[in-house]
Amino acid sequence: MLALLALGVVYYIAQKKKTSSSSNPLRTTSNNVISMDSHRKAKQSPGEQPCSSCKKKNGKLIFYAQDNGTVVGLCKDCQSKAKKRDMLPL
């Protein structure tokens, strides 16, 4: 009878420890895991950025550094503006 009581106490403690550890949000990591497949697919879509000068989405941009250090992305139609201002291509 005493062994049965001891077994019941051990079972109760084990169940209590199990439920308290599963309710702790710091231990679960499934909510903050990011799938890299969706991130890679999002980066493979070029042509989403508009030109800094004409604001058209003309596909591939060429990036230049301005005199004040800022970076601009220009389409092929606006490259002449960069050449006139002697901007450095990046």
Q: Is 71 helix (H, G, I), strand (E, B) or coil?
A: strand
Helices (H), the chain: 2-22, 36-43, 79-84
Q: Which of 7-21, 35-49, 61-75 is predicted least confidently?
A: 35-49
Whether the per-residue pLDDT at 84 is higher than 60: the answer is: yes
Angle at 64 between CA 63 and CA 70, to 5 degrees: 110
* pTM exceeds 0.85, yes or no: no
Span 7-32, average pLDDT: 70
pLDDT in tens, 24-60: 555 555 677 777 877 777 666 555 788 888 988 877 8
